[in-house]
Chains A and B, each alone.
Chain A
Amino acid sequence: MGAPGELNAALRARYANNFLREVETNVEEGEWVKMCMQCGVCAGSCPFGPHWEHSPQKIFMMIRAGRREEVLASDAMWMCTSCYNCVVRCPRKLPITQIMHGLATYAHRLGLAPKLQPTRQWSLLFWENCTRTGRVNELKLTLGLYFKDGFVAGLRKAWSLRGIGFGLLRAGRLNPFELFRGHECRDKAGIQRMLQKAYEIEARHLKLDKYKA
C-alpha cells in the first residue's frame, strides 16, 4: 500500500460525491448511518458532550450531506469513552459507539485524523502494547503515554504523578520489573502470524495490497 495520502485520494475518487456509500462500505457498522432520525438523544447522553466539536447526530447528518473532509478530521469520534449510553438509548438502536470507533479508525487509516489528538495516540499505543506479547504491559503502556511528547515532558509528567505511582507500588498493583519483562503469552509467534493474516484480509476489503496499523 502507498502512503495514507494516496489511499485517501484513491478512495475519494472511487466514491466521488457519495460519502455515505463510502462510509457504508468501508466503516465498521457504517451501513447503520442512514437509519439516524436526528432525535439527538445520543448528543444529550454523552459524558464528554461538552467537549466535542460535533455530536454523533451531527456527524451522521454530515455524512449524508457529503461533508467528507470535515467529518474525517473531526475530533468528535476520538472523544468516545465507550460508555455505550448512546447505544442503549438510541430509539433506532444504532450501534453508535461502534460507528464512532469505526469512523475514527477509518480517518486514521486515511491519514485525516487530527495528528495530535491524544486519544488517537493512546489507542495506537494500547493496541501496539497488548499485541506485542499478547498481554498488556501496564508499566510500559503508562510510560509510553507519559513520554509521547519527548523525554523532558515525560519526566515532568511522571514526576507530577509520582504519588499515584508510589501508591500503586505500595498496594502491590504496579511492578517496576515489567520494564524488563512483563506478563506475556507463550505463543507470541502464533499471535503475530494470526494478526498479520487478519490485517492482510482486512486490507483486501479496502482493495489495498497490504495494510498494517
Chain B
Amino acid sequence: MAKKQYAFYPGCSSQLRGSASNYLTSVNAMCDTLEVKMTPIPDWNCCGASIGYAGSGQLARHVMNARNFALAETHLPGQDVVATCAACWLGARETKEKLDASSQLLAETNEALKEAGLEYKQKTEVRHMVEVLIEDLGYAAMAKPVVKPLEGLKVAGYVGCQTNRPFGIAGESFENPLYLDKLVETLGAEPLTKYEQKVTCCGGALAFSEPEKSRVQIRQIVESAYDHRADLIVTPCPLCQANVEIYQSEINKKHGTKLDMPVTYYSQLMAVAYGKSAKAAGLDGHVIAPKKLQDIAVKVVPAKK
C-alpha cells in the first residue's frame, strides 16, 4: 500500500511524447520507490500557463484551473492536488488564492463551471511535487532508498523562476533558495552552491516569441554552469529544462560557442540514485545526453543487506 496519495496534475508538456514526457517517466519511477501514489485527476485540462493572458482575460483562466479542482474534489476527495510543472502549480495556486479571497469571483467561476456540470467547493489544496518531497517526506526519507549515491557528479542546481516566485517553497529565500542543493547532496552528488544563475529567468514562454532575447539568458545560465565545472544542470521546471537544453545548439550556430551541457530534472537524479534503469529515469529523453548520469544508471550495484 502506498504511504501517501495525491491527486496528480501532470500538465500538458508531461504527456506521452510531449516536450517533458521524460519528466513524467522519472516522476513515476521516483514515486514508485518512495511509495507515493499519484492518481491523475480524471480529464484534467490545461491551466492556460502564464502566457495565455491576452486571450483568456481573468475569469476564463480561473475557470480552467477551477475545473481541475472540481474534478479532483469529485473523484479524489481529500487528496491534495499536486503539480509537477512550475506553470501549472503557479496558475492553479494563484486561482485558488484569488477564489478564496473573493466571493464574487468564486460565484462567477461556479456560474461558468455549472455549464460543465461542475462545482468548486473550495476544498482543494494545491501543492508542488517538490513540496511533497520536502514537507511530507523530508530529506531523511529521500535519502533512505538511495542505492547508488551519485558520487563525483557535480550539479548546478537551476531553480529558475516559477517554482521559486512568487510563492516558492516555504522557508526558502527568493534570491538564493537552498532546497535543490540540499536534495542533490542527499543523493550523494556535489551541489555547486556558488552557481550564480540559480534563479535567472530563461525567457520562459518568450523563448518562442522573443528567441534572441531569451537566448542571451540561456547562454548565461549554461556558461555559468561551465564556469563552475558542472557535469550537468538540474531543474524542477519543464520549460526551463526544454529552453536551456534545446537552444544550446542554436546559440552555438550563431555565436560559435560549444555549449553541450546536459539539463535534467531532480526526479531523474532521484530515480537513478534509487537504482532505476536509464529508461525508467527518462534519460533517453534528452537532446544532450547526460552521459555521467547514464554511466551511473547502468552501473550494477551489489544487492543491499
A120 to B287, CA, bound (A): 29
Alpha-carbon distance A134/B12, docked complex (angstroms): 9
Bound-state Cα–Cα, A83 to B56, Å: 19
9-residue interface stretch from A3-11, A62-70, A193-201: A193-201
Establish whether residues B18 and A195, one from each chain, have CB atoms under 8 Å apart when the complex forms.
Answer: no
Binds A, one of B135-143, B206-214, B268-276: B206-214
A161 to B251, CA, bound (A): 12
Q: Which segment of A15-23, A34-42, A164-172 sits at the interface?
A: A164-172
- Are A81 and B287 in contact, with the CB atoms below 8 A? no
B165 within 8 A of A: yes
Interface string of A85-121 (1 = CB under 8 A from B): 1011100000101000110110011000100001111
A56-83 contacts to B (CB < 8 Å) = 79, 81-83
**A155: interface (CB < 8 Å):** no
Taking A87-B166, A194-B115 as contacts, is the C-beta distance between A127 and B56 under 8 angstroms?
yes
Contact: B51 with A126, CB < 8 Å? yes
Asked whether, in the complex, the Cβ of B112 is within 8 Å of the Cβ of A130, the reply is no
CB of B205 closer than 8 Å to a CB of A = yes
| Pair B206/A202 contact, Cβ less than 8 Å | no
A175 within 8 A of B: yes
Q: A83-B201, A122-B208, A198-B63 are in contact. Are A134 and B213 (CB under 8 A)?
A: no
Q: A130-B52, A171-B287, A196-B115 are in contact. List 8 more A-B contacts (CB 8 A).
A: A84-B161, A84-B165, A84-B166, A127-B52, A138-B13, A163-B250, A191-B45, A201-B59
Are B52 and A198 interface neighbours, CB within 8 A? no
Complexed CA–CA distance, A159 and B237 (Å): 28
Q: Which residues of B contact A82 (CB under 8 A)?
A: 50-51, 161-162, 204-205
Known contacts A81-B201, A82-B50, A167-B246; A124 and B112 CB within 8 A of each other: no
Instruction: State whether A198 and B112 are in contact (beta carbons under 8 Å apart), knowing that A81-B204, A82-B50 are contacts in the complex.
Output: yes
With most chain A CB atoms within 10 A of its CB, the pick from B12, B57, B60 is B57
What are the residues of chain B within 8 A of A104 when measuring CB–CB?
A: 53-54
Residue of B nearest to A127 (CB): B55
B54 touches A108 (CB 8 A): yes
Bound together, the chains give a CA A83 to CA B162 distance in angstroms of: 6
Stretch among B19-27, B150-158, B178-186, B296-304 lining the A interface? B19-27
Closest Cβ of chain A: how far from B53's Cβ, in Å? 4
Which B residues are within 8 Å of any A CB, using their own CB?
Answer: 12-13, 15-22, 43-46, 48-60, 63-64, 67, 108-109, 111-118, 161-162, 165-166, 168, 174, 200-201, 203-206, 208-210, 213-214, 217, 242, 246-247, 249-250, 284-287
Query: How distant is B184 from chain A, measured CB to nearest CB, in Å?
Result: 23
Given the complex of chains A and B, what is the CA–CA distance between A168 and B56 in angstroms? 29
Give 10 A-B contacts (CB < 8 Å), ordered by A residue: A48-B213, A89-B174, A119-B206, A122-B206, A123-B53, A164-B247, A175-B17, A194-B116, A195-B60, A195-B112
Contact yes or no, A81 B57, CB < 8 A: no
Counting contact residues on chain A (CB < 8 A from B), the size range is: 35 or more
Among candidates B13, B54, B67, residue contacting A123 with C-beta atoms closer than 8 Å: B54
- Rounded to whole Å, the gap between the CB of A177 and the closest CB of chain B is 9
Complex-state Cα separation, A168 to B162, whole angstroms: 24
Is there an interface contact between A122 and B51, defined as CB atoms closer than 8 Å? yes
Closest B residue to A178 using CB positions: B17
Most buried by A among B18, B250, B287: B18
A174 close to chain B: CB less than 8 A: yes
**Contacting pair A145 B250 (CB below 8 A):** no
Chain A residues within an 8 Å CB radius of B165: 83-85, 87-88
Q: How far is A113 from B53 in the complex, measured between Cα atoms in Å?
A: 14
A47 within 8 A of B: yes
Asked if A135 is an interface residue, CB under 8 A from chain B, the answer is: yes
> Taking the nearest CB of chain B, how far is it from the CB of A63, in angstroms?
18
A170 CA to B250 CA, complexed, in Å: 17
In the complex, A152 has a CB within 8 A of chain B = no
Q: Are A172 and B284 interface neighbours, CB within 8 A?
A: yes
Contact of B58 among A28, A84, A145, A197 (CB under 8 A): A28
From A83, A138, A185, A199, B57 is in contact (CB under 8 Å) with A199
Among candidates A118, A136, A142, A213, residue contacting B54 with C-beta atoms closer than 8 Å = A213
Q: Out of B45, B113, B114, which one reaches A185, CB within 8 Å?
A: B45
Task: Knowing A171-B285, A194-B113 are in contact, say whether A164-B12 is a contact too (CB < 8 A).
Answer: no
Residues in chain B near residue A183, CB distance under 8 A:
12, 15-16, 18
A206 CB to closest chain B CB, in angstroms?
Answer: 10
Partner of A172, one of B53, B249, B285: B285
CB contact between B203 and one of A47, A164, A185 (< 8 Å): that residue? A47
